[in-house]
Structure 1
Amino acid sequence: MTAETAMWPGPADRHGGHSRWQTWRNPATLIRAADMLAVLIAASLPWSTTAPSIFVGLWLLAVTPTIDWRDYARKLVQPALALPFALMLLALLGTLWSDGAWADRLHAIKPVAKLALVPPLLYHFSRSERGFRVGLAFLASCALLAVYSRIVLLDPAWKLTATASSGVPVKNYIDQSQEFTLCASALALPALNYWRRSKPAATAACLALILLFVTNMAFVAAARTALLCIAVLLALFAWRHLGRRAALVLLAGTVAASALAWTASPYLRQRITDIAVEYRHGHEDINRASTAQRLTYWRKSLHAFAEAPLVGHGTGSIKRQFERAAVGDNALDTEIVSNPHNQALNVAVQWGLLGVVLLYAMWIAHFRLFTGDGIAAWIGLVVVVQNIASSLLNSHLFDFHEGWMYVLGVGVAGGMALKVKARAQS
């Protein structure tokens, strides 16, 4: 055999290579690969920003060849799939009338662009049988983070990144609290179902995980927005899955647990009492101005919205509006930001009433995806309601971490809910 012929595969090698290529082009193989990549997105999200972004790109490469484009186009007329695209299109068009710098316009498209993943996720997981694996991967990853958080609280040298808060190994306490709130709330229905089926071991496992997440927020690191979300989600759980008597028992238990946590946790007491302190002294010390900052941001955003109520000031215009409003004698009045810490105001300043209508229409459409029974419907409902509630005090749909929690949660759980609905109708 010459060197030249050795460079090229023989008939058997060519056949083997062709066979392997055919295997990887097989839609079933690509669907399995897409499922595994979705699992990796969910598992890496609590720990990283880079890894989920890489896995999202690979997921798109894997899932695109498996899409039946005619079927996909027919399903795009459904509001749950169409409205995320509509909001993204508005963001793109909004660059044309924006009064912000072009760098700000282009930067403001990125937070909205992730919504474009909702329709393909819904489509993919309406076919896949592995949706629950994605949820379990996120749950397991968050449980590991909760345990590691306790270690970091005792020894900060174990921190993976230089975070500003004790007991927060990576990212920040807001992201960590939102993760733990989602996991604890999602586990409530499985715990109830196992209890009703007389499965004490499974019930105890669910309750232990709930306790792990809740005590972390009470004693280690908690965002006050997450505490609001917990109250809203408890009320949602009682409304959806409990009778009147059981709801009263839940209410009594919640009050007792809250009182115990208030008594036992100086950290929790400080987080709550700081609200009044931050409001009173916000104009004097910008470092202790969280409450006063939000109120100032909202006032300025409402003024900007009133100037252009129909279509707003355009994509990426928030910073420019705060520059115009930066007048006053203290640091709080002259502070310039690009995030008003309220999702509706974030949208209203940029795209006016048109954007706000699209935002709430999308939330409502996704809420309606999860009006059925079952674990997938409950998880999806928790994801949507948590995002709506937390977006009262933050722009969580556009924030990286909470935004991807929403996109992945709605996409995976929504696809599973659509599959259940399709089977019931067939």
Structure 2
Amino acid sequence: MAIVDHPRSSLLARLRDPARWIATVDIVAALLALSLPWSTSLVGIFGAVMVVTMLPALDAGSLVRSLKNPICAAPAALFLLALIGTLWSDAAWGARLYAVGPTAKLLVLPFLFQHFARSQRGLWVFIAFLVSCALMVVMSWIVAFFPDLTLKARDVTLRGIFVKNYIDQSQEFALCAVALAYPIVMLAREKKIALACLLCLLALAFVSNMAFVIVSRTALVTMPIMLATFGVLHLRVRTTLLILCATAIAGLVAWMASPQLKATVDKFRTDYELYMAQDANTSIGNWLEFYRKSLHFFAEAPLKGHGTGSTRGLFEQAAAGATAGTAAAEVVGNPHNQTLNVAVQWGAIGIVLLYAMWLSHLLLFRDEELISWIGLLVVVQNVFTSLFNSHIFDFHEGWMYVLGVGVAGGMVLKATAAKVDPTDLAGSL
């Protein structure tokens, strides 16, 4: 007599199957990457769903053990410091708790490391992000010619921005353009010229959009550093020098041919001169003013800082009596520098944890493989753009970091564990 499974027992068996939950998380993570260039709300939703769907297949013991590893311990400690830092802050409790929020996304990193150390589909996430950014390039060009189609304010100086802002868009395009350098070179070495040319055209699409539509000054500064990192790690010295020379020449030609790029570069000088001469409220002037005041705040409480959420109140006190409309009168809750943002709130303790996190993640991606290159590039971009922004705490760039490092890190841990002991992937954590 044949035994027929009860529908309820069959459903329970599927719900208890770790492989199904792992596949579900992979799909949600890819959807998160796909939505990252387009929507803040969707990223928040998919982020929450991703963590929830990780729980049924979670190895709690492995997760706890992973906290002994600096790649997990440092970001978790930075969150705990932000939480504990509310106790000595003079800000209102609403401001203190609000300031804890941007650090919470760092807690997703240990979950991502564990998950993608077991998953077979980590590459899906990076492909989804690349495809999404490629579609954004197309949309950016369309909006550049038909600005009424934008979902943002119809400001003629920001043509080419469909959603979000030019800083986020430049971060995405710069990351994709430089990340493609590795597969292009590898494919060329393997004589797969057609595919290499296709990826080269895609990289040029990102670069040309930044040259002729709109680009952030942060991307202009950090892209050469990212390219130099690639050259040092993956090319011969002679080849690196030739590429750097070619890049410099191409940049000069682009600067001469692109009014938008020339205006962006020229604005560095004019903003600085206006600030020095008149204390004018310009972007460069504001940066310098924020840095000067933040260093003063740090000197007042060098060990543990002024506490979580204290930054705006300190700037309000410093701006008292300043002439309205000047850089000195600007009040912000973010000094536009990641190190100073941490230093003002949590002092030297916070700086040590921040740099320990960056260093541990840099050391994680030491192999000469595609995934290690992607992870390394995400960290390098975040470190250097954080000279001009607080990108760990910013929503968009923060999620770029968490998702990129978490997925790539998990895949690297899996590959490392397979070399040491294929039966103990969790041990690599």
- Into which bin does the TM-score normalised by the smaller protein fall? over 0.9
Residue pair 2:166, 2:215 contacting (<8 A) in 1 also: yes
1:75 aligned to which of 59, 66, 74: 66
Residue pair 2:152, 2:163 contacting (<8 A) in 1 also: yes
Residue pair 1:396, 1:402 contacting (<8 A) in 2 also: yes
Map of 2:331 onto structure 1: 336
Tell me the distance in 2 between the aligned counterparts of 1:283 and 1:322: 20
Residue pair 1:105, 1:317 contacting (<8 A) in 2 also: yes
How big is each residue's C-alpha offset from its partner over 1:111-159, in whole Å with a ceiling of 9 and x where there is no partner? 1111011111011101101000000000000000011100000001221
Map of 2:262 onto structure 1: 269
Residue pair 2:306, 2:347 contacting (<8 A) in 1 also: yes
1:271 deviates by: 0.3
Supply the AA of the counterpart residue of 2:243: L
2:173 aligned to which of 180, 198, 213: 180
2:358 aligned to which of 363, 368, 372: 363
1:98 aligned to which of 69, 78, 89: 89
Map of 1:228 onto structure 2: 221
* Residue 109 (str. 1) matches residue 100 (str. 2): yes
Aligned residue pairs, count? 415
1:249 deviates by: 1.4
Residue pair 1:46, 1:145 contacting (<8 A) in 2 also: yes
Tell me the distance in 2 between the aligned counterparts of 1:407 and 1:157: 34
Supply the AA of the counterpart residue of 2:103: V
Map of 1:43 onto structure 2: 34
Supply the AA of the counterpart residue of 1:200: I
How big is each residue's C-alpha offset from its partner over 1:71-92, in whole Å with a ceiling of 9 and x where there is no partner? 2222221100111100000000
Supply the AA of the counterpart residue of 1:303: H
Map of 1:373 onto structure 2: 368
1:284 deviates by: 8.6
- SS of 1:325's partner is helix
1:288 deviates by: 5.8
Tell me the distance in 2 between the aligned counterparts of 1:375 and 1:261: 29
1:285 deviates by: 8.6
Map of 1:346 onto structure 2: 341
Tell me the distance in 2 between the aligned counterparts of 1:182 and 1:342: 20
1:96 deviates by: 0.4
Tell me the distance in 2 between the aligned counterparts of 1:146 and 1:336: 34
C-alpha spacing 1:119/1:387, structure 2 compared with 1 (3 Å): same
1:163 deviates by: 6.4
Residue pair 1:109, 1:315 contacting (<8 A) in 2 also: yes
Supply the AA of the counterpart residue of 1:252: C
Tell me the distance in 2 between the aligned counterparts of 1:347 and 1:283: 27
Map of 2:427 onto structure 1: none
How big is each residue's C-alpha offset from its partner over 1:315-339, in whole Å with a ceiling of 9 and x where there is no partner? 0000011011013224321211001
* Residue 154 (str. 1) matches residue 148 (str. 2): no
- SS of 2:414's partner is helix
Residue pair 1:229, 1:386 contacting (<8 A) in 2 also: yes
What is the root-mean-square deviation in Å for CA atoms of aligned residues?
1.6
Of all paired residues, the percent bearing the same amino acid is 50
Residue pair 1:262, 1:268 contacting (<8 A) in 2 also: yes
Map of 1:239 onto structure 2: 232
* Residue 396 (str. 1) matches residue 381 (str. 2): no
Residue pair 2:234, 2:368 contacting (<8 A) in 1 also: no
C-alpha spacing 1:313/1:211, structure 2 compared with 1 (3 Å): same
Map of 1:217 onto structure 2: 210
Map of 1:278 onto structure 2: 271
Supply the AA of the counterpart residue of 1:393: F
- SS of 1:333's partner is helix
- SS of 1:33's partner is helix
Residue pair 2:117, 2:412 contacting (<8 A) in 1 also: yes
Tell me the distance in 1 between the aligned counterparts of 2:93 and 2:136: 38
Residue pair 1:363, 1:384 contacting (<8 A) in 2 also: yes
Supply the AA of the counterpart residue of 1:75: S
- SS of 2:319's partner is coil
- SS of 1:170's partner is coil
1:55 aligned to which of 46, 63, 78: 46
Tell me the distance in 1 between the aligned counterparts of 2:215 and 2:154: 14
Tell me the distance in 2 between the aligned counterparts of 1:105 and 1:301: 18
1:25 deviates by: 2.7
Q: TM-score, normalising length from structure 1?
A: 0.95
* Residue 418 (str. 1) matches residue 403 (str. 2): no
Tell me the distance in 2 between the aligned counterparts of 1:358 and 1:93: 14
Residue pair 1:163, 1:170 contacting (<8 A) in 2 also: no
Map of 1:4 onto structure 2: none
Residue pair 2:34, 2:128 contacting (<8 A) in 1 also: yes
Map of 2:303 onto structure 1: 310
Residue pair 2:279, 2:328 contacting (<8 A) in 1 also: no
Map of 2:56 onto structure 1: 65
Tell me the distance in 1 between the aligned counterparts of 2:61 and 2:352: 29
Q: TM-score, normalising length from structure 2?
A: 0.94
Residue pair 1:284, 1:330 contacting (<8 A) in 2 also: no
* Residue 126 (str. 1) matches residue 117 (str. 2): yes
Residue pair 2:218, 2:385 contacting (<8 A) in 1 also: yes
Tell me the distance in 1 between the aligned counterparts of 2:281 and 2:251: 25
Residue pair 2:148, 2:154 contacting (<8 A) in 1 also: no
C-alpha spacing 1:284/1:154, structure 2 compared with 1 (3 Å): farther
Supply the AA of the counterpart residue of 1:81: C
